[in-house]
A = this chain, B = another copy of it.
Amino acid sequence: MLVVQKYGGTSVGSLERIENVAKRVAKARDEGKDLVIVVSAMSGETNKLIEYAHHFSKTPSKREMDMLLSSGERVTAALLAIALNEMGYKTIALTGRQAGIKTDNAHTYARIESINTQRLRNEINDGNIVIVAGFQGINNDGEVTTLGRGGSDLSAVALAGALNADACEIYSDVDGIYTTDPRIEPKAKKLDFISYDEMLELSSLGAKVLQNRSVELAKKMGVKIIAKSSFSDGDGTVIADKGENMEEVLVSGVALDKNQARVSLRDVKDRPGIAAEIFNKLADENINIDMIIQNASENGTTNLGFTVPQSELERAKKVMDSFKEEFGSSDYDENVAKVSIVGVGMKSHSGVAAKAFEALAKNNINIEMISTSEIKVSMIIDEKFGELAVRVLHEAFGLGE
Residues of A within 8 A of B (CB): 15, 18-19, 22, 49, 52-53, 55-57, 60-61, 63-65, 67-68, 70-72, 74-75, 77-79, 81-83, 85-86, 92-93, 95, 97-98, 142-144
Contact = CB atoms under 8 A, between A and B. Distances in A.
Contacts of A81: 61, 64
Number of copies: 2
Given A15-B52, A56-B15, A144-B95, A68 B63 contact: no
B92 A63 contact: yes
12 contacts: A19-B56, A22-B56, A53-B78, A56-B79, A56-B82, A60-B86, A61-B85, A64-B81, A64-B93, A67-B77, A67-B93, A71-B74
Contacts of A67: 74, 77-78, 93, 95
Contacts of A72: 71
Nearest to A54: B82
Contacts of A97: 142
B65 A78 contact: yes
Given A63-B92, A93-B64, A95-B67, A57 B77 contact: no
Contact of A61 (B60, B63, B75, B82): B82
Question: 5 tightest A-B contacts by CB?
Answer: A68-B78, A57-B86, A71-B71, A56-B83, A60-B82
Interface of A is mostly: helix
A46 B56 CA distance: 22
A291 B53 CA distance: 50
A24 to B, nearest CB: 15
A68 B74 contact: yes
Contacts of A56: 15, 18-19, 22, 79, 82-83, 86
A98 B60 contact: no
A85 B64 contact: yes
Nearest to A74: B71
Contact of A75 (B15, B22, B49): B49
Given A71-B74, A95-B144, A144-B95, A64 B82 contact: yes
Contacts of A15: 52, 55-56
A22 B19 CA distance: 39
A86 B60 CA distance: 7
A57 B75 contact: no
Contact of A57 (B70, B82, B95): B82
A182 to B, nearest CB: 35
